[in-house]
Structure 1
Amino acid sequence: MAAIFKQLCLLVLTHDCFDQFFVEFNFLHVPCLKAAISKCLGLAIVGGAFLVKVPQIVKIIAAKSGEGISITGTVLELTAILVNVAYNFVNGYPFSSYGDGVFLLIQTAIIGALVYHYGGSTGSAIAFFATVTILTGLLSSGFVALKILWILQACNIPVVFAGKMIQALANYRNSSTGQLSAITVAMLFLGSMARIFTSIQETGDQIIILTYCVATFANGVIMAQLLYYWNVPVKTKKA
């Protein structure tokens, strides 16, 4: 039983921190406390990301419409997620520091494909999903130099901001958030905010930390709009 307990603890603790907590009973060891909180938070974010955009996907399918969702904003967001996942993977950072990006990548690709599909172009939907799959494999394979991935990650900052602001502008023009899911928007906002802390603890990579700071601000704007336009339908367009 003790061996099983230790193995479970080592999922979130280093051997040194395990000794600090359960051998020396030093439960106030600050570096280990911060590392443990970061690891647990990171794993929680990864677990939450497994379903974070499912409400959005369900809402689009139920309405059979991607009305109110900016495909340009979705593509920019998808690009940012893809580069972030590839950069973290190639750098060998812990999965708990970027695993949520893997699930967000898959789900955002599905959303983009659905927008194309319900927009009347199933062929474009298939091509869109296939392109995302190919690019993911290429960037994560190590074929692209790490220096180039770093540059792409740096470019993620304006891409993340632009993607969200395009969606925010679409919301403003429609005076509504359309088919945006409140659950998804809230989870993205809280997740990106938590990622600032976990990135500081687990990677210390300044470019990743800055990216999440910008993402938190941008997600906060969308969150504020969703609250402001609550229950306001998409504008009806006259012929």
Structure 2
Amino acid sequence: MVDIIKKGALLLMNQKCYDNYFLDYNFLDVPCFKALLSKGLGIGIIAGSVLVKVPQVLKILNSKSGEGINLLGVMLDLLAITFHMSYNFMNGYPFSSWGDNTFLAVQTVAIAALVLFFGGRKLQSFLFLVAYAALLYVLNSGLTTMKVLLTIQSCNIPILLVGKLSQALTNYRAGSTGQLSAATVIMMFAGSLARIFTSIQETGDQMIIITFCASTFANGVILAQLLYYWNKPVPGAAKKEAAKAKKPKSKKDD
């Protein structure tokens, strides 16, 4: 039983911290606490990422519409997620520091494909899936050099900002957040904020840290819009309802 506990604990901490906590009962070791907190946050973020965009996917499926969702923003978000995932994977960084991107990528691909599909572009939806699979192979099979991966990782900051802020612009012009899921927006903001700490603790990679700072800012803008437009009527909604009310009933309705 002790061996099982030790093996489980060593998944979250190194041998030195294990000895501090379980042999010396030194619970005030700051470096070990930071490392344990970072690992726990990382695992929590990965667990949450499995479902973080599912509410958004379900909302599109239920309404059979991608109205209010900026496709360019989704595509750029997907590129940023994919570049970050590949850069970390090829660098051999701990899975707990980037694993959530794997699940975010799958869900973002689903959102983009559904927006295309329900927008009447079924062929483009299929071709998009094929193209993305090819991109994953090129980035993660060793065909792409680390120098190139570092370059595209540095491009993540403008890609993230343009992608997220284009969605913010769409929201502003519509006076509404449309089919955006509140749960997804909130979890994306919280996840990117927590990732600043885990990246500092587990990788120390300045490029990754700056990227998550930019991501947190952009997600914060969309979250602020979500809260601002929460109880505001959608522009034109009243007119549509009035038009429906005035529409004469057909014989079938009688």
Q: Is the contact between residue 154 and residue 207 of structure 1 (CA under 8 Å) also seen in structure 2?
A: yes
Instruction: Please name the residue that 1:119 is paired with.
Output: 119
Letter in 2 for 1:197: F
Please list the CA deviations of residues 133-178 of structure 1 after superposition, one character each: whole Å capped at 9, or x if unmatched.
2111210112101011001000100100010000000000000000
Please list the CA deviations of residues 188-214 of structure 1 after superposition, one character each: whole Å capped at 9, or x if unmatched.
000000000000000000000000000
Shift of 1:231: 4.0
Shift of 1:232: 3.9
Shift of 1:235: 4.0
Please list the CA deviations of residues 37-72 of structure 1 after superposition, one character each: whole Å capped at 9, or x if unmatched.
000000000000000000000000000000000000
Aligned pair 1:181/2:181, yes or no?
yes
Instruction: Please name the residue that 1:191 is paired with.
Output: 191
Instruction: Please name the residue that 1:72 is paired with.
Output: 72
> Structure 2 unaligned runs (5+)?
240-254
Instruction: Please name the residue that 1:30 is paired with.
Output: 30
Letter in 1 for 2:146: L
Letter in 1 for 2:32: C
Instruction: Please name the residue that 2:146 is paired with.
Output: 146
Letter in 2 for 1:113: A
Question: Which stretches of structure 1, 4 residues or more, deviate above 3 A after TM superposition?
Answer: 231-238
Q: Is the contact between residue 178 and residue 233 of structure 1 (CA under 8 Å) also seen in structure 2?
A: no
Letter in 2 for 1:98: W
The 5 A counterparts of 1:1-239 are: 1-232=1-232, 234-236=234-236
Q: TM-score, normalised by structure 1?
A: 0.97
Alpha-carbon RMSD across the aligned residues, in angstroms, is: 1.2
Task: Give the whole-Å Cα distance in 1 for the aligned partners of 2:173 and 2:108.
Answer: 23
Q: 1:76 to 1:233 in 2, by over 3 A?
A: farther
Shift of 1:222: 0.1
Task: Give the whole-Å Cα distance in 2 for the aligned partners of 1:201 and 1:61.
Answer: 38
Secondary structure at the aligned position of 2:127 is classed as helix
Letter in 2 for 1:53: K
Letter in 2 for 1:190: A
Task: Give the whole-Å Cα distance in 1 for the aligned partners of 2:232 and 2:148.
Answer: 44
Q: Is the contact between residue 68 and residue 171 of structure 1 (CA under 8 Å) also seen in structure 2?
A: yes
Q: Give the fraction of aligned pairs with identical amino acids, expressed as a percent.
A: 55
Letter in 2 for 1:134: A
Secondary structure at the aligned position of 2:132 is classed as helix
- Bigger-Rg structure (1/2): 2
Letter in 1 for 2:119: G
Letter in 2 for 1:185: V
